[in-house]
Every structure is written in structure tokens, then in C-alpha cells.
Copies of this chain bind each other. A is one copy, B any other.
Amino acid sequence: MEQYQNLNGIFQALADPTRRAVLGRLGRGPASISELAKPFNMALPSFMKHVRFLEDSGWIRTRKEGRVRTCAIEKQPFAAVEKWLSEQRAVWEGRTDRLEQFVTNAHKKERSE
């Protein structure tokens, strides 16, 4: 039923404005933790929880060089969200198609009678 075991985490990650803002920033290019944290009025340990959540759910990768940890965005989760949306859309469209089919068939039946 569920091809993305990780879809729970992928959506959960987006259910927070700090995490969405971090993804928005990383879309412009990689950044260090301290650079990412700057716009938020938040203690570093709290901010790090958000970073770890984004990393664990697959939205970002991080790399430590010396004392600096750099974060970069991953695009696979975007593709997973888009796939889920397009699957939902396909269900509605199938529904519309079936409705059109029904109307067309009813019309044909009327004409042949």
C-alpha cells in the first residue's frame, strides 16, 4: 500500500515552520549550522533537533569539516511528495474519467433507443 516507508518522516519534517524555512534557505545552496541558525531566535540545542530531524527524514545531508558542519538539501523527498500528490490527482482524474464515461454511455444508450 505504501511505497515510501519514509513518507511519515518526510511529511512530519514539513509540519514545522523552522524546518520549512531551513529547507527554503538550503534551496539557495549549502550553509553551515551557525549560518542556518542565525535568523531564528532559538537556543542552539533546539535548533540542532530540527537539523537532526531534517537529516533523519532524508531532507538534508550534513558534513563536518573541522569545527564546521555544513548542510545541503536532498531532492529525493521533494520527488516523493510530488509522486504522492500526482497519485492523488490520478485518483480524482480517474473518478472524473469514470463520470464522463458514464455520462457518454448514458447519452449513447439514449440515442440508440
A15 touches B17 (CB 8 A): no
In the assembled complex, which residues on chain B have CB atoms less than 8 Å from the CB atom of A8?
A: 15-17
Chain A interface residue count: which class?
A: 20 to 34
* Closest chain B residue to A73, Cβ basis: B92
Bound CA–CA A89/B23 (angstroms): 11
User: How many protomers of this protein does the assembly include?
Assistant: 2
Segment of A41-49, A63-71, A80-88, A100-108 in the binding face: A80-88
Partner among B7, B24, B78 whose Cβ is within 8 Å of the Cβ of A20: B7
Which 9 A/B pairs are nearest by Cβ-Cβ distance? A27-B91, A12-B15, A11-B14, A11-B15, A11-B11, A8-B15, A27-B92, A27-B88, A2-B17
A-B CB contact pairs (8 Å), 20 listed: A2-B17, A2-B20, A7-B14, A7-B17, A7-B20, A8-B15, A8-B16, A8-B17, A11-B12, A14-B84, A24-B88, A24-B91, A27-B91, A27-B95, A28-B91, A28-B94, A78-B85, A78-B88, A81-B81, A82-B85
